[in-house]
Chains A and B, each alone.
Chain A
C-alpha cells in the first residue's frame, strides 16, 4: 500500500514531486523524514524561508488585546464576541491564510470602532489617559499630540508627517459631523478611524532593502510587532517600542534579550496555554458525555476541571520545570481537586481547590495519560483506541494518515472480548483496514487500553486482562512498548514526535502553515528538543531564525 506514509514532518503544500518522493521513501524505510529540504544548505538563503503574507490580520483575540492596549483600558472590551468567525485554518486559530476582512467582518470592525470611540469620549478618565492635559498649548497642538501618541500604538509604529496631517484634518472635520464638545468630537472621530485603519487591522510589513544574501530584514517596529504578537498576543509595550527606536531589535541577540524579558511576563503564559489548548483540543473537554449509569462521578463540572488541570500541568512543565516535550510526555506531576482525585486514585491535597500531587509511576506518565485526553477520546461507556491512536498519529507524530474510507461498516458487538480484540478483529492485521490501522492507528491507541472512558486506570477490560503492548515504526525500525508509560517514553525520545512538536510550534509562532522551506529548521529544532530543549528555548530559537526576522522577496502577482 502506498496510500500512507509513516510518521513524518512532511507538510502540506510540499510540492507534489517532493511529496511523492517522501512517500516512496517512507514506505521503504518508515520514518525516514528530515530528508526533505536537507539539501537546502547549498541553496540560496533566499530560498531557505518561505514567502509569506505582508498583511497578517489580527485574530479576534489579538484585536481585543490590542484595543485594550491602544486605549490603555484595564480589560479587554469584549466586542469581538459578536464578530463574524473565521473559517477553520488547520490546528491553530492564527493561520494568516484564512484571516480575511470580509464584508461582514468589516461591518463588525466598523461598528466596534464607532462604539469604542463613543465609549472613550463618554468617560473623562479614559480621555485623560489618551489626550495631553490642556496647559494652554492650544487645541491643535493637543490634537496633534494625541494623534501622534495613540496613533503610534494603533499603527504599532510612529506615524509619518503626512499621516498625522491627514488625521489632524479628520479631527478638525469632526465637529461638523458629531454633536457636542468639538474637541471630544475630534477625539471620537480619530479613534474610530484608527480602529478601521488597515494599519491597525493588519500587521503591515513594508519592503526594505535586501541584505547581500537576498533576504529582506524586517524593520525595527515590524520586529517588535512580530515579537509581541508571538509572545503576548498583543501589540508591543512601551519598552519594546523604545528598543525598536534604539535599534536594539536589529540583531538576533537583541531580539533574544527582549524575548527573554517577555517570556517572564504572565502574558506569555496565556500564549503557551493557547498553543497547547489548540494542539491538544482542550475545548473538547467541556463538552463530553459519559453514561451516568456507568460513570456517576463524571458530573458536568468535570469538564472545566479537566481544562484547568491541563492548564496547570502545562504551566508547571513549561514555567516551573523549564521543560519541553519530554516533560510534557513523561512528567508525573499533576494538579487535582476532589472531583479529579478519584480518577487518579490520589487524595486531593486542597479539597475542592486544585493541589499538586505526584501520580503513581506505574500507572501514569505525561499529558497522554491524563483524564482530559483519555476521556475526550473515549466513548460514552468505553475506551476508544481508534480515536486515541488517530490523535497521537496526527497531533503528536504528524503522521500523514490517508483519509478513512467513506463507508465504514460498524464493528460487530462481540460478547466476552476486550475492546482491543473487537477493534483488532475489525481493523487490525489480516483485515481490509490493516494498512493504516494495523501499523499506525491501532498500536498508538492500544497503548492506552489501561484507561477507561473517563481515564481511570484499569487492569481488566470487560472481565479480561488488558493488553496495552504493541509495536510502532519509529526511528527507522519497529519499537516495542508494553503500555502507555513506555509508549510515552518512546515518543519523548523519538525524532518524529520532537519534529512534530517543533513543526506545530513553528506554525503557531509564525501564524502560517509549515512548508518545505521550513524542513531544515524543523529538523534542527526537533533534534534539539529530543535532546532536552525546553519549550521556552524552542521559542527563543524560533525567534532567532531568519524566518522570524526577515522576509523573502515576493513573487509579484501578475
Chain B
C-alpha cells in the first residue's frame, strides 16, 4: 500500500488494515494535494518591540518587498531574522489593526479580537470581556472538518486566573477551553494508536453499542417540548460530540516523546516548563495535521496578559506583562525596569524560536512533492501591537502558502486594514466560503468592510 492511499484513508475512508507503526517524519510518495490545506495559529501576548515614538524598530525588516534568507540575516537585530531559513515561505504582514475598541482591559479586548475580528462584549466587561462571534479556527473546523471534529485548542504555560484562554470561540461569548497538558491532548487524539488491531476492532464495537444507547437517551431529552434555547444548544453540542471510533490509519509519536509528556504531566503548567510544553504541543499539532485529524489548531503561549517569567541568558526575568509595561508592577505602581524594551525584544525572539520549532516540525513531514508546511499555513500572531498595548499594527507572521494560495517570500505593509480581512483570506485559502458560495471575504463583524486581502494572494 503506498502512502497516497494511506493518506486518503485519513479523511474518512476506513482502511482494511490499521497502520500501526509510528508516523514519524519521512519521505512519502504522495503527490501535491494529498493534504488538504490547514491553518495553525500561535498567539503571543503583550505586543512586540516595534517602532513607536520612543522605541526603535526591532521586529520588522527595514524594507518591504521580497524576502531572502540573506536579506533577513543582514538585519539580525530584527526579531523576524530568527525565521530567515524560511524566507521563501515567509509572509510578513504589517499594518493589520483590530477594528473595535476594548472594553476596559486592553489584553482582554485584544484577545477577544485577534482571531475573531468581532466586537468586544459589554457584558461582561473588563478582563472578563468576550468576543461577540466565532474565531477563524472554529469557522474552518465548522466548515471543513468532518462533523463534530473540533479545532485543536492547545495552551502552554500557567493560568494565573486574571485572563486565561483568549483564542478560540465557538460563538458569541462562548469561548473554548484550551488543553494545557500535552499528554492529555495527545491521548485524546492518538491515545489508541498502540492498540492491537483486534482489540481496536472490539473497542469500536463496544463504543458503538454504548453510543447507540446514549444517542437514544439524548434524542429523547432533546425531543422534549419545553426546552429553552441555552439547553437546546447545550444538548446539541453534546449530541454532536458523540462519535464512533473510526478504525483508520493510526498516528503516533515515538514512545520517547510520549514518555516525556507523561513525565511533564504534573508540572505542565509550571512557569519554567512553558517552552518545553509549547514544543510538545507543537509536536502534537504537526502530527494532527499530517494525519488530517483537523484543519485548524491554535496554541496560546502564556495566559491572557502573559505573566510568565521567561529566562533570558539563563536568568529568570520579571513577568513578561511587567516587562511589556516597562515597570515592575502589573498595575500602575512600580519602578521602571531597566532596559525593559531589550528584554521584551528577547522575549519576542523566544516566541520566534518557538514558532520556528513548529515550522521545523511541519517541514520535516516530507510528502515528496512538498513538505507538510507547504500544504498549510502557520501564523504567529499577537493580541496587541506594541508596548502601549495598541490595537494598530498588530503583527501577523505567516509561513507556508496553503498549497500555493498565498504569496509567500514577501513583506507587505497593508497600511491599516482590519484583521477580519486577513483571517478571512486565510480561511478562503483553506476553502471556506461566504454565504453566496464565494471565497470567504466577510469574516468577522458584519459591520466591517468586506473583501479579501489581495496583497497576500498568489
Interface residue stretch chosen among B7-15, B220-228, B342-350: B220-228
User: When A101-B241, A403-B105 are in contact, do A554 and B227 touch as well, CB less than 8 Å?
Assistant: yes
User: How far is B409's CA from A390's CA once the two chains are assembled, in angstroms?
Assistant: 49
Q: Which residues of A contact B389 (CB under 8 A)?
A: 406-407
**Are B161's CB and A283's CB within 8 A?**
yes
**Are A284's CB and B161's CB within 8 A?**
yes
User: At the interface, yes or no: B69 with Cβ under 8 Å from chain A?
Assistant: no
**Are A557's CB and B206's CB within 8 A?**
no
Q: Which residues of B contact A201 (CB under 8 A)?
A: 238
User: At the interface, yes or no: A384 with Cβ under 8 Å from chain B?
Assistant: yes
User: When A177-B205, A410-B325 are in contact, do A207 and B149 touch as well, CB less than 8 Å?
Assistant: no
Interface residues of B in 162-198 (CB under 8 A from A): 164-165, 175-177, 179-181, 183-184, 187-188, 191
**Are A411's CB and B213's CB within 8 A?**
no
User: How far is B148's CA from A283's CA once the two chains are assembled, in angstroms?
Assistant: 35
Q: Which residues of A contact B388 (CB under 8 A)?
A: 407
Q: Which residues of A contact B191 (CB under 8 A)?
A: 111
Q: Which residues of B contact A106 (CB under 8 A)?
A: 238, 241-243
**Are A87's CB and B165's CB within 8 A?**
yes
User: How far is B127's CA from A110's CA once the two chains are assembled, in angstroms?
Assistant: 34
**Are B227's CB and A557's CB within 8 A?**
yes
**Are B207's CB and A403's CB within 8 A?**
no
**Are B105's CB and A197's CB within 8 A?**
no
The one of A104, A113, A409 that contacts B188, using a Cβ cutoff of 8 Å? A104
Q: Which residues of A contact B202 (CB under 8 A)?
A: 177-179
Interface residue stretch chosen among B92-100, B274-282, B329-337, B418-426: B329-337
Q: Which residues of A contact B124 (CB under 8 A)?
A: 12
**Are A13's CB and B123's CB within 8 A?**
yes
The one of B149, B216, B327 that contacts A103, using a Cβ cutoff of 8 Å? B149
Distance of B123 from chain A, by nearest CB (Å) = 6
User: At the interface, yes or no: B416 with Cβ under 8 Å from chain A?
Assistant: no
**Are B234's CB and A103's CB within 8 A?**
no
Interface residues of A in 343-390 (CB under 8 A from B): 379, 382, 384, 386-387
User: When A104-B179, A557-B232 are in contact, do A403 and B104 touch as well, CB less than 8 Å?
Assistant: yes
**Are B210's CB and A82's CB within 8 A?**
no
Q: Which residues of B contact A84 (CB under 8 A)?
A: 177, 179, 184, 188
User: When A193-B210, A196-B214 are in contact, do A87 and B149 touch as well, CB less than 8 Å?
Assistant: no
Interface size class of B (residues with CB under 8 A): 35 or more
Interface residue stretch chosen among A50-58, A218-226, A471-479, A498-506: A50-58
User: At the interface, yes or no: A138 with Cβ under 8 Å from chain B?
Assistant: no
**Are A407's CB and B237's CB within 8 A?**
no
**Are A555's CB and B209's CB within 8 A?**
no
User: How far is B335's CA from A88's CA once the two chains are assembled, in angstroms?
Assistant: 32
User: How far is B217's CA from A517's CA once the two chains are assembled, in angstroms?
Assistant: 33
User: At the interface, yes or no: A423 with Cβ under 8 Å from chain B?
Assistant: yes
Q: Which residues of B contact A407 (CB under 8 A)?
A: 106, 388-389
B74-115 Cβ-contact flags toward A at 8 Å (1 or 0): 000000000000000000000000000011111001000000
User: At the interface, yes or no: B218 with Cβ under 8 Å from chain A?
Assistant: yes
Q: Which residues of B contact A284 (CB under 8 A)?
A: 161
User: At the interface, yes or no: A94 with Cβ under 8 Å from chain B?
Assistant: no
User: At the interface, yes or no: A408 with Cβ under 8 Å from chain B?
Assistant: yes
Residue of B nearest to A379 (CB): B329
User: How far is B294's CA from A104's CA once the two chains are assembled, in angstroms?
Assistant: 13
User: How far is B228's CA from A554's CA once the two chains are assembled, in angstroms?
Assistant: 6
- Best-surrounded residue of A90, A193, A403, A557 (most CB of chain B within 10 A): A403
User: When A100-B238, A556-B226 are in contact, do A410 and B210 touch as well, CB less than 8 Å?
Assistant: no
Q: Which residues of A contact B231 (CB under 8 A)?
A: 53-55, 554, 557
A453-469 Cβ-contact flags toward B at 8 Å (1 or 0): 00000000000000000
The one of B206, B221, B331 that contacts A386, using a Cβ cutoff of 8 Å? B331
Residue of A nearest to B106 (CB): A406
Q: Which residues of A contact B237 (CB under 8 A)?
A: 100-102
Q: Which residues of A contact B235 (CB under 8 A)?
A: 55, 198
User: At the interface, yes or no: B431 with Cβ under 8 Å from chain A?
Assistant: no
User: At the interface, yes or no: A170 with Cβ under 8 Å from chain B?
Assistant: yes
**Are A173's CB and B229's CB within 8 A?**
no
Q: Which residues of B contact A102 (CB under 8 A)?
A: 150, 176-177, 237, 241
Q: Which residues of A contact B227 (CB under 8 A)?
A: 54, 554, 556-557
User: How far is B106's CA from A102's CA once the two chains are assembled, in angstroms?
Assistant: 29
Interface residues of A in 155-204 (CB under 8 A from B): 166-167, 170, 173, 177-179, 189, 192-193, 196-199, 201, 204
**Are A85's CB and B177's CB within 8 A?**
yes
User: When A51-B228, A102-B176 are in contact, do A402 and B234 touch as well, CB less than 8 Å?
Assistant: no
A389-417 Cβ-contact flags toward B at 8 Å (1 or 0): 00000000000001110111111010000
Q: Which residues of B contact A90 (CB under 8 A)?
A: 128
**Are B184's CB and A410's CB within 8 A?**
no
Residue of B nearest to A178 (CB): B206
Residue of A nearest to B210 (CB): A193
- Best-surrounded residue of B102, B149, B188, B265 (most CB of chain A within 10 A): B188
**Are B229's CB and A557's CB within 8 A?**
yes
User: At the interface, yes or no: A315 with Cβ under 8 Å from chain B?
Assistant: no
User: How far is B225's CA from A555's CA once the two chains are assembled, in angstroms?
Assistant: 10
Q: Which residues of A contact B164 (CB under 8 A)?
A: 87-88
B140-151 Cβ-contact flags toward A at 8 Å (1 or 0): 000000001110
Q: Which residues of B contact A100 (CB under 8 A)?
A: 234, 237-238
Q: Which residues of A contact B230 (CB under 8 A)?
A: 53, 97
**Are A103's CB and B148's CB within 8 A?**
yes
User: How far is B177's CA from A105's CA once the two chains are assembled, in angstroms?
Assistant: 10
Distance of A52 from chain B, by nearest CB (Å) = 9
Q: Which residues of A contact B180 (CB under 8 A)?
A: 85
- B residues with CB within 8 A of A: 102-106, 109, 123-128, 148-150, 160-161, 164-165, 175-177, 179-181, 183-184, 187-188, 191, 202, 205-207, 209-210, 213-214, 216-218, 221, 224-232, 234-235, 237-238, 240-243, 265, 325-327, 329, 331-336, 388-389
Other A-B pairs beyond A555-B228, A557-B228, 7, CB < 8 Å: A85-B177, A111-B187, A198-B235, A287-B160, A384-B331, A406-B106, A410-B326
Jot down 17 A-B pairs with beta carbons below 8 A, ordered by A: A54-B226, A82-B181, A82-B183, A82-B187, A101-B241, A167-B213, A196-B210, A379-B329, A403-B127, A411-B329, A411-B332, A413-B334, A426-B332, A553-B226, A554-B226, A554-B228, A557-B228
- A residues with CB within 8 A of B: 12-13, 51, 53-55, 57, 82, 84-88, 90, 97, 100-108, 110-111, 113-114, 166-167, 170, 173, 177-179, 189, 192-193, 196-199, 201, 204, 206-207, 281, 283-284, 287, 379, 382, 384, 386-387, 402-404, 406-411, 413, 422-423, 426-427, 553-557
